């Protein structure tokens, strides 16, 4: 197991609605100390967080979170605001209702519009795999690829379940070669994290991995 690689692949995450600035600072400090890929935090903290880390850590935030059913216009405003506040990475939630209605063009167009705003910022597209059929996941792999997103992401962490090994394998088989896979939600052990990376995930979204790594590296 490569704990350093696990941490360098992790978006150290705190998206609990009641999170305080003091708790966000702790997340930022830990992400800096353990050289995480980013800190993923609520949009309202992005400006302060960007100032706090002084460009030494990528700041990730969420758009249309967690349900994805806000309008495209509101998602675009959220994205612009987050980028102006200093976000380096955007994790957007797709409209699952459009998926269920087969409105694939609307799903792709929304991703493309947000992609156009992101410019140099990374865009990760959350598809919430627990709400989807295998056919829908496969179709969305193609859409996310053609829309030019940087990552496809399994879950918000607020659904009925998070990242599953079979979903990573399915996405790996059908997403484009330039699109990364972010496994998120329910990653509770370092062994689970390593297994997801071994299967093809290139980024992890988790709140527990830093603490688990600390306990493993520096046991009492």
* Domain residue ranges in the chain: 3-217
Q: Which CATH class is domain 3-217?
A: alpha beta
Verify whether residue 198 is a known catalytic residue. no
For 82-107, write each residue's pLDDT tens digit.
999 999 999 999 999 999 999 999 99
Instruction: Give which of 128, 126, 117, 133 is closest to 160, Cα–Cα.
Output: 128
Select which of 91, 150, 167, 192 is catalytic. Answer: 91
**Residue 91 annotated in active site:** yes
Residue 220 pLDDT grade (very low, low, confident, very high; cuts 50, 70, 90): confident
124 is catalytic: no
Question: What are the Cα distances from residue 79, in Å, to 19, 22, 148, 189, 208?
Answer: 21, 24, 16, 32, 27
The active-site residue out of 11, 124, 150, 182 is: 182
Count of alpha carbons within 13 angstroms of residue 11, beta-carbon side: 31
Give me the catalytic one of 11, 75, 124, 153.
Answer: 153
Confidence of residue 217 (pLDDT cuts 50, 70, 90): confident
45-62 average pLDDT score: 98
Render pLDDT for 147-192 as a digit per residue (tens, 0 to 9): 999 999 999 999 888 899 999 999 999 999 999 999 999 999 999 9
């Amino acid at each position: 197991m490569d704990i350093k690689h696990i941490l360098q692949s992790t978006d150290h995450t705190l998206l609990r609605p009641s999170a305080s600035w003091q708790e966000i600072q702790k997340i930022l400090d830990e992400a800096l100390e353990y050289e995480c890929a980013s800190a993923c935090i609520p949009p309202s903290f992005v400006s302060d967080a960007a100032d706090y880390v002084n460009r030494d850590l990528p700041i990730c935030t969420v758009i249309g979170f967690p349900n994805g059913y806000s309008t495209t216009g509101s998602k675009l405003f959220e994205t612009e605001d987050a980028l102006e506040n200093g976000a380096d990475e955007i994790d957007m939630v797709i409209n699952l209702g459009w998926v269920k209605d087969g409105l694939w063009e609307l799903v792709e167009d929304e991703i493309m519009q947000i992609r156009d705003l992101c410019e140099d910022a990374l865009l990760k597209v959350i598809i919430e795999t627990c709400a989807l059929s295998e056919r829908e996941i496969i179709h969305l792999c193609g859409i996310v690829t053609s829309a030019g997103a940087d990552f496809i992401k399994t879950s918000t962490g607020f659904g009925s379940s998070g990242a599953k090994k079979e979903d990573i394998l399915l996405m790996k088989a059908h997403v484009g070669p330039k699109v990364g896979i972010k496994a998120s939600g329910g990653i509770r052990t370092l062994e689970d994290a390593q297994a997801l990376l071994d299967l093809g995930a290139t980024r992890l979204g988790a709140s527990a991995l830093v603490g688990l790594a600390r306990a493993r590296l520096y046991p009492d």
